Amino acid sequence: MDGIELLSMHETQEERAHDFTPQTFEDYIGQQELKQKLAIYTQAAHMRQEPLDHLLLFGPPGLGKTTLSQIMAHVMNVGIKICSGPMLERTGDLVALLSSLQARDILFIDEIHRMSTTVEEVLYSAMEHFRVDIIIGQGAGAKSVNLPINPFTLVGATTKTGMLSAPLRSRFGITERLDFYTAEELRDIVLQTASFLQFNITSEGALRVAYCSRGTPRIAKKILRRVRDFAQVARKEIADLHFVDDVLTRLGMDSDGLSALDNLLLKTILDNFHGGPVGLETLAALIGEDKETLEQVYEPFLLRMGYLEKTARGRQIAGKKLPYLKKKFLGQESI
């Protein structure tokens, strides 16, 4: 159990060492409506000196679920313990973690949909009645012991709400979704992080990074750190739009914000299947990437940006993007 807590602390400290981590809702950029609601919920709970209702946060990875949980703990002046569902392999791990919580503390479980069924069942009574039932002994001598725990708030984070069991999902008093960020919000996050890193980047350069970040702050921060690497080696005091463009080109990203694999996927559909449709497994084999990666990592962005469509017969390039991609890849003005 100590390993779980130590790993969580290590990851949080490492993240804080390299990225700006907001401590208040005012410092947190984006998710405006959600942020306003969480500010009210946490303030009300703090005024009553009660734990916040259990909260389920869902949405794509990298949008700030952990950060929001840390802010809530800071606002409520309580502790927070962070772990992930796959790390809770045994019921004893979860019982030890729950027993260590102080009154009103927050327990954040990332990828909560990946917890085992036996571990998940321990959460039911803990969430509803603030107690856990454990079995001591084996066989005829086994007995059930009721262990009370301090009232706490469970914050569960998931990218796949459909994989949560109905009994667990129903025990969350608050369920909220995180949306992708706008380019302007990501630009502000890049500028905020750059200031923390004591790195100078122009607003135009930050916006260019934002357009390549797939609506995700985590990706924006990763790109910013790579731009900083290039700037440091080149002894560039400020990263302007021209310099950022050059770095992004070296990183395999084009002016549309598409990565090398994004372009390879679209070009393969265009070259080999005249725009589609084509089955996912066939496409994965031609590109040399597994279908799960294509489906979970690359497709969502291309679908959201209107480049790709899903049909009953497979994937195809969206009709409104076909003329543009013909010109981009084949140098043809029209189809």
CA distance to 87, 109, 156, 164, per residue, from 124 (Å) = 18, 14, 13, 13
- The residues that bridge with 174 in the sheet, in sequence order, are 55
Strands 153-158 and 55-58: what pairing? Answer: parallel
In the set 12, 21, 159, 282, the catalytic residue is 159
Please say if 311 is a catalytic residue. Answer: no
Please say if 159 is a catalytic residue. Answer: yes
Q: Tell me the residue length of the chain.
A: 335
Residue with tokens 């916040």: 52
In the set 42, 66, 67, 193, the catalytic residue is 66
Output Rg (C-alpha) for the chain, integer angstroms: 23
At 156, list the tokens: 């569960």
- Alpha-carbon distance 116 to 118, whole Å? 6
Residue with tokens 């630009």: 187
At 49, list the tokens: 């000196």
In the set 218, 225, 236, 267, the catalytic residue is 218
At 23, list the tokens: 């401590």
- Alpha-carbon distance 321 to 34, whole Å? 33
At 291, list the tokens: 């279908």
Please say if 53 is a catalytic residue. Answer: no
In the set 19, 42, 65, 221, the catalytic residue is 65
- Let me know if 24 is exposed, middle or buried by CB neighbors in 10 A (0-12, 13-18, 19+): exposed
Please say if 110 is a catalytic residue. Answer: yes
Q: Which amino acid is at 95?
A: V
Helices (H), the chain: 2-18, 32-48, 65-76, 91-99, 117-129, 166-170, 183-196, 203-211, 217-233, 241-250, 260-273, 280-287, 291-293, 299-304, 322-325
DSSP letter at 128 equals: H
Q: Tell me which residues are annotated as active site.
A: 65-66, 110, 159, 218
